[in-house]
Amino acid sequence: MAGMGLIVRDDPKKVVDLTVREWGPEVDGFVLSIREMPHEDPDAQAAVSLILRNVGGTLRSFVVPGWVFFYSFEILGSDGTPAAVSSFGRELLKPARRTERIEVALGPGEFTETQIPIGSLFSLSGRVKYRVVASCTPFEGVSVRSNLILI
């Protein structure tokens, strides 16, 4: 592979400090946390880190239709107006693209982290503060909501 210009490496496992996260309410043994990803460039698009954690006492398995489709966002401007989906977001979220199926198994205390570039999916103005809440449905009838953040 080196002759093809490809390099394969094993990145060290990312350590996530769960104690500094805020969490939404527990629903059926799950909690969800949303946090804005830090960025040094003031013109960078907003991105969020989402952590879904099993706080129950048993292994929980479910199927995700791709992480972008699994999470929903409620993004409201300071005047209460919902943020519009961007043209890129409309293209990415087309139902025809919903073909991925990811099997997830979370034991007690285990979690999964997903990073979503919401600044690319939604038309967000840099001059407006937005209230953002995420949600997901790991099982029929189980809707888990995150904490509220401002971006």
Question: Can you give the three-state secondary structure of 109-143, one letter per residue?
Answer: CCEEEEEECHHHHECCCCCCCCEEEEEEEEECCEE
134, part of any domain: yes
Q: Give the chain's length.
A: 151
35, part of any domain: yes
Q: Which CATH number is 91's domain given?
A: 2.60.40.2970
41, part of any domain: yes
99, part of any domain: yes
- Count of the separate structural domains present in the chain: 1
Calculate the alpha carbon distances from 13 to 3, 10, 16, 21, 72 in Å: 27, 9, 10, 19, 27
Structural domain harbouring 83: 20-150
Q: To the nearest whole percent, how much of the chain has pLDDT over 90?
A: 74
112, part of any domain: yes
pTM score, two decimals? Answer: 0.86
pLDDT digits (tens, 9 = 90+) for 4-43: 445 544 555 567 788 889 999 999 999 999 999 987 777 7
Residue 39 to residue 2: CA distance in whole angstroms: 32
pLDDT digits (tens, 9 = 90+) for 74-115: 999 999 999 999 999 999 999 998 899 999 999 999 999 999
102, part of any domain: yes
